[in-house]
C-alpha cells in the first residue's frame, strides 16, 4: 500500500508538471501476472487501491491498463470494488475496434465512458514516407485535461 501511495504521488507530480489539470485520468500499467496466485493477486489489488485512493485525494482520476487474461481481469472481477480505478483499458488483441461487443466481463461495469480497448499490437503504419510500429486502441474514456 505504501508503494502504491508513493507511486501515485510521483505520478501526480509528473502529471502536474505536464500541466494536466485536476480531474485528468492517470493510467496505471500493470503487466501480466498469475491472478490465480492469491497472495500475489491480493498484493496487486492492495497496491492498485492505494494508488487509486491517493490519486483521488489529489483530485485526479484513476485509470488502469492490463491484459484481459490477467491484470485487467483481476480488476474487473474483484468482488470488493472499493477504491478500484474508474477507467479500465484492457488488452485483448482480437482486432475488433470496439469497447462494447467484446467486453469480456459484466456488461454493467465501466459503462459511463470509462473503457479503452487495445485491440491490436505491432501494426505497421506509414505516414509521410516513414513507417512506424504502433498499437491500436478503441477508446471511450477520459484523457488528459491540459491547460
Predicted confidence (pLDDT) per residue in 48-104, tens digit: 999 999 999 999 999 999 999 999 999 999 999 999 999 999 999 999 999 999 999
Cell representation of residue 86: 474508474
pTM (2 d.p.):
0.93
Q: What percent of the chain is modeled with pLDDT above 90? A: 99
Q: How far apart are CA 136 and CA 127, in angstroms?
A: 15
Delineate the domains of the chain, giving CATH numbers in brackets.
Answer: 2-140 (3.20.20.80)
Tell me the average pLDDT of the chain: 96
Residue 120 has a pLDDT of 97
Do 71 and 77 touch, CB atoms closer than 8 A?
no
Structure confidence at residue 147 as a pLDDT band (50, 70, 90): confident
Amino acid at each position: 500500500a505504501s508503494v502504491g501511495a508513493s507511486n501515485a504521488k510521483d505520478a501526480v507530480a509528473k502529471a502536474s508538471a505536464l500541466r494536466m489539470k485536476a480531474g485528468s485520468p492517470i493510467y496505471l500499467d500493470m503487466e501480466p501476472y498469475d491472478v490465480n496466485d492469491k497472495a500475489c493477486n491480493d498484493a496487486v489489488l492492495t497496491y492498485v487501491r492505494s494508488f487509486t485512493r491517493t490519486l483521488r485525494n489529489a483530485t485526479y482520476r484513476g485509470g488502469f491498463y492490463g491484459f484481459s487474461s490477467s491484470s485487467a481481469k483481476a480488476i474487473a472481477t474483484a468482488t470488493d470494488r472499493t477504491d478500484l480505478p474508474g477507467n479500465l483499458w484492457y488488452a485483448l488483441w482480437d482486432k475488433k475496434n470496439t469497447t462494447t461487443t467484446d467486453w469480456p466481463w459484466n456488461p454493467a461495469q465501466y459503462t459511463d465512458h470509462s473503457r479503452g480497448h487495445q485491440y491490436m499490437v505491432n501494426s505497421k503504419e506509414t505516414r509521410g514516407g516513414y513507417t512506424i510500429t504502433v498499437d491500436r486502441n478503441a477508446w471511450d474514456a477520459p484523457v488528459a485535461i491540459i491547460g
